[in-house]
Structure 1
Amino acid sequence: MKEQKIINIAVIAHVDAGKSTLVDALLSQGGAFRMNEEVVNQVMDSNDQERERGITIYSKNTAIEYDGIKINIVDTPGHADFSSEVERIMKTVDTVILLVDSSEGPMPQTRFVLQKALELGLKPILLINKIDKRDQRAEEVVDEVLELFMELGASDEQMEFTTLYGIAKNGIVQKDMATPSTNLAPLFETIVEQVGGYPSELREKPFKMQISSLGYDSYLGRLGIGRVINGVVQKNQNYNLLKADGTSQPVKISQLMVNQGLHRVPVDEALAGDIVIMAGISDISIGDTIADPSVTEPMDPIEIEEPTMSMNFLVNTSPFAGRVGKYVTSRNLKERLERELEVNVGLRVEPLVNSNIEGFKVLGRGELHLSVLIESMRREGFELAISKPEVLFKTDSHNEPLEPMEKVIISMPTEYSGTVINKLNQRKGVMLDMDSDGSRDKVIYNIPLRALIGFRSEFTNDTHGEGIMVRSANGYEPYKGHIESRANGVMVSMAAGKTLPYSLNNLEERGILFVGPQTEVYEGMIVGQHSRGNDLDVNPTTAKKLTNTRSSGTDDAIKLTPFRKMNLEEALEYIQNDELVEVTPQDIRLRKRYLTINERKQHRNQLK
């Protein structure tokens, strides 16, 4: 065992470039599946939300063997919202496979994940994926990636990266466009040739490793996951737990596991270079150092980028509170958020300053980062109310406010570009580039993050679903001034009961409905969008008054336009400061912060 070579690799890319598909192929050709085992696509995306959304949210480890060499593979998220996962995982790998679409080329989030790898001194392997596309432009894309390396300040050695070409869904990688292949052998060969294996002489040094991820097992308790930097770690041995603040305490590892295929296998010892999972240390945290008693200095702390957005997680106070949820109190919320903090290092939780409101201020890396947490809580049986997302500002040396910016790349049919460009300009966006092929326009904007809250649904409507928008963080710039928010008001129910087709039919003339017939509503619940800029109090529960006289033609069956049903992300983007999203295991509702007309009049100018 002490002679076995170990290589750790990460697959990094923009969303939808084919990361999870490539990992599937690596596992399949690396012998991770038994002959009779059912193979599931995107097998590493094991979380329900990952499968439903089609994205990777949590980085995960697996291991295969190639030519007697153990290769640990880390599948990383492509969304900048989950940057905290990417940042700490990069420290556990020897090289990265940078996956780039042969047609799209490097996208904004490609820049983000690549920058993290270059900063740590890793030399990437470039894999141009989807070369079977009709609009592939692989050679141009290689030049674009080279320019990106130069922009990010890559070293001379990093600039001399190896380029491969492939079709991940078919499990094919080739060394150049002209030399066909039938498997991933060229990729495996390149990995072994470039890395060679973890230095064996480090196995003779005193044991040391840093915790990069946490897990939980109902039988073993809290799990610490990380790469062994030096020496050999053994089960049931005494070690020191070194915290970043300089404190230390003796600990014993009760259970030790390594990755083998898709499974965790118990072992008695693991070597330097391997990724291990250990149990028995109850208060272990990300960034902690586990080491031999002779080691006294902890490793450098893992630096995580600061949050850019916050939302208030409040106790649900609607008239329907507690009907379907199991966890509804502030104590339940506090316990759940504290559990999340243990494994989600990109998150921050603060108590609300206003003592009249029960809840917490939760800070994260973006709307998606926070909405994934909310969706997880909803599925676990929590009920809560969420406030409008707020962007977090910084200040410069002169105490002037700085706000986070986003780089946005938009591709859309030419006939819709005028409307979209006009809206981006109104939101204080600055156009960086524009290109057109006659049928579709591509624009690149630098725009404040707060201007994009609520823009995606408008963009989808304006482009009739044919537009594509990708975005990534683009630093901080001086405050851009006031930006107009939602132009339309809302229709607010002034009565409680079930909605009726007769009243909804009348309300359709006033705007867009968010509820259908026979939906239970309460006073203060938002039932639709008003066609004008002001809020409108309505009664969606009104029935037709019955008389003895039948009027000709008016008693026919009422036909309603399909209502607009919002998902969680759309609801969070839509609301204003005086509104909340009510989240329960079964329903997502929009409501006013103050439910009655009198309360709203009293607090008209009192925003959160």
Structure 2
Amino acid sequence: MNHIRNFSIIAHIDHGKSTLADRFLEVTHTIEKRKMREQVLDSMDLERERGITIKMQPVRMKYGEYQLNLIDTPGHIDFSYEVSRALTAVEGAILLVDATQGVQAQTLTTLRMAREQGLVIIPAISKIDSPLAMVADTKLQLAKLLGIEEESILLCSGRTGEGVEKLLKAVIERVPPPKLPQEKVLGSASPQPDHFPGQVLAGTQALIFDFQYSDHQGVIVFLRMFSGSAKKGDALEFAASGRRFVALDVGTFSPTPKAATSLNAGETGYIVTGIKEPGFARVGDTVRTQKSATPPLPGYGEPKPVVWASIYPESQDDFTALRQALARLRLSDSSLSFEEEASGLLGRGFRCGMLGMLHLEIVTERLRREAHLKLVVTTP
């Protein structure tokens, strides 16, 4: 595990996270040049159209003898829950600040989340090639914010590639390798992040940070292995629901899914469960060996909705299709909540809780595109 580094890029919206991630993929030759495109980790059409990241996206890169597991995260406040989940799966974070804008609101929010997880912070300033760049001022802001020397702040440009390799080398030098949870000592003064201290382990223990649903393969869980290993054919279970399953396949992201012989402690990847009923897999649950006494890992706090809106199908014939579409969407967006309601005028529909107005826009647009539904959405 000494040659594994798990890290994230955190920043305010539009500070250059996805562009920097693109350059990392180029420098590490994870994607062939001919297949390279802008925002390569933003796989949803909506993300590419709006130029924003909505879903976190894991990817494994090889750099020399090191395995670098990056989780690209959204910058918009509405998707901060995605960021908080990504940060539990890593040991370090690049805090990226745009040289043309300086420290912004989400810079502070994501920094607080990273510090709560005990992560190693690597400060970096992006867009240094811009004619509007205020590098000296931004350096001063970051140094004050973090209480560090200006010399330890790295400079880079996702557009030209300047400073990108230096940043990758800093990840290797500054971010600690993953530790098995029982190796961590509660209250230790060590700089190692202490996500899950003081647990004695037996067998496989992995934290689910995201998942998606496939008609063919059922629920596919994205997870960080904290101990043990998982391979195709292993008998596993979800700790919270108790639902058992056999791993149909395991693999990593490069950034497209790539089958692997096994997933080992310290790595991030996916397991195909074959489960086709909703409700058994939950973000924050622990995957472990069947009938194991391994304790579940601490999960995530439930996100609290701040915007409520009612969504009705234009035709009541589509009510069941809407319920299924919402349940399916919730598989990949655990911050969405919904409950059935009825209106004398509009018939049966759902009252949905979101994390903000942009979140509401994205959810309704995804329902229209992915489930091909005609909807009536009330004013929040």
Q: Work out whether the TM-score is over 0.5.
A: yes
TM-superposed CA distance for 1:276, in Å, is 1.7
Q: Report what 1:46 is aligned to.
A: 43
Within-5 A mapping of 1:341-490: 341-352=330-341, 354=343, 357-380=347-370, 381-389=372-380
Matched, 1:88 2:88: no
CA deviations 1:258-281 (Å, max 9, x no partner) are 12x323221221211111200125
- Inter-CA distance 192–313: structure 2 relative to 1 (3 Å threshold): same
Within-5 A mapping of 1:245-264: 248-259=242-253, 261-264=254-257
Relative to the length of structure 2, the TM-score reads 0.87
> Cα RMSD between the aligned structures?
2.4
TM-superposed CA distance for 1:248, in Å, is 2.6
TM-superposed CA distance for 1:205, in Å, is 5.6
Q: Report what 1:584 is aligned to.
A: none
Within-5 A mapping of 1:150-549: 162-173=152-163, 184-199=164-179, 206-243=203-240, 248-259=242-253, 261-280=254-273, 282=275, 283-292=280-289, 293-316=291-314, 329-352=318-341, 354=343, 357-380=347-370, 381-389=372-380
1: CA distance between counterparts of 2:125 and 2:47?
A: 24
Matched, 1:66 2:74: no
- Inter-CA distance 340–263: structure 2 relative to 1 (3 Å threshold): closer
2: CA distance between counterparts of 1:5 and 1:328?
A: 55
2: CA distance between counterparts of 1:42 and 1:343?
A: 20
Equivalent residue in structure 1 for 2:141, among 144, 153, 158: 144
Q: Report what 1:15 is aligned to.
A: 13
TM-superposed CA distance for 1:377, in Å, is 1.6
TM-superposed CA distance for 1:142, in Å, is 2.5
- Inter-CA distance 294–315: structure 2 relative to 1 (3 Å threshold): closer
1:385 is aligned with what amino acid? V
TM-superposed CA distance for 1:200, in Å, is 7.2
Q: Report what 2:192 is aligned to.
A: none
Q: Report what 1:108 is aligned to.
A: 105
2: CA distance between counterparts of 1:121 and 1:285?
A: 24
Equivalent pairs counted in the alignment come to: 356
* Preserved contact between residue 238 and residue 287 of structure 2 (Cα < 8 Å): yes
TM-superposed CA distance for 1:198, in Å, is 2.2
User: What stretches of structure 1 of length at least 5 have no aligned partner?
Assistant: 151-157, 174-183, 322-326, 390-608
CA deviations 1:436-484 (Å, max 9, x no partner) are xxxxxxxxxxxxxxxxxxxxxxxxxxxxxxxxxxxxxxxxxxxxxxxxx
TM-superposed CA distance for 1:91, in Å, is 0.6
CA deviations 1:469-513 (Å, max 9, x no partner) are xxxxxxxxxxxxxxxxxxxxxxxxxxxxxxxxxxxxxxxxxxxxx
1: CA distance between counterparts of 2:115 and 2:288?
A: 27
Q: Report what 1:76 is aligned to.
A: 73
TM-superposed CA distance for 1:137, in Å, is 2.1
* Preserved contact between residue 124 and residue 161 of structure 1 (Cα < 8 Å): no
1: CA distance between counterparts of 2:233 and 2:205?
A: 16
- Structure 1 window deviating more from structure 2 (378-387 vs 349-358): it is 349-358
Q: Report what 2:188 is aligned to.
A: none
CA deviations 1:92-120 (Å, max 9, x no partner) are 11111111011211111222222111111
TM-superposed CA distance for 1:341, in Å, is 1.8
2: CA distance between counterparts of 1:96 and 1:115?
A: 12
User: What stretches of structure 2 of length at least 5 have no aligned partner?
Assistant: 184-200
* Preserved contact between residue 63 and residue 71 of structure 1 (Cα < 8 Å): yes
Q: Percent identity?
A: 27
- Structure 1 window deviating more from structure 2 (90-99 vs 212-221): it is 212-221
SS of the equivalent of 2:226 reads strand
2: CA distance between counterparts of 1:143 and 1:160?
A: 7
* Preserved contact between residue 217 and residue 274 of structure 2 (Cα < 8 Å): no
TM-superposed CA distance for 1:147, in Å, is 4.0
- Inter-CA distance 192–137: structure 2 relative to 1 (3 Å threshold): same
* Preserved contact between residue 318 and residue 373 of structure 2 (Cα < 8 Å): no
SS of the equivalent of 1:213 reads strand
2: CA distance between counterparts of 1:53 and 1:171?
A: 23
SS of the equivalent of 1:168 reads coil
2: CA distance between counterparts of 1:227 and 1:344?
A: 18
2:255 is aligned with what amino acid? L
Larger radius of gyration: 1
TM-superposed CA distance for 1:310, in Å, is 0.7
* Preserved contact between residue 126 and residue 161 of structure 1 (Cα < 8 Å): no
- Inter-CA distance 21–58: structure 2 relative to 1 (3 Å threshold): same
* Preserved contact between residue 328 and residue 382 of structure 1 (Cα < 8 Å): no
1: CA distance between counterparts of 2:334 and 2:92?
A: 23
* Preserved contact between residue 205 and residue 294 of structure 2 (Cα < 8 Å): no
SS of the equivalent of 2:29 reads coil
Relative to the length of structure 1, the TM-score reads 0.55
Q: Report what 2:26 is aligned to.
A: 28
CA deviations 1:336-379 (Å, max 9, x no partner) are 11112222111110222656632111110011101111111222
SS of the equivalent of 1:169 reads coil
- Inter-CA distance 132–263: structure 2 relative to 1 (3 Å threshold): same
TM-superposed CA distance for 1:201, in Å, is 9.3
* Preserved contact between residue 208 and residue 289 of structure 1 (Cα < 8 Å): yes
1: CA distance between counterparts of 2:55 and 2:100?
A: 27
2:66 is aligned with what amino acid? I
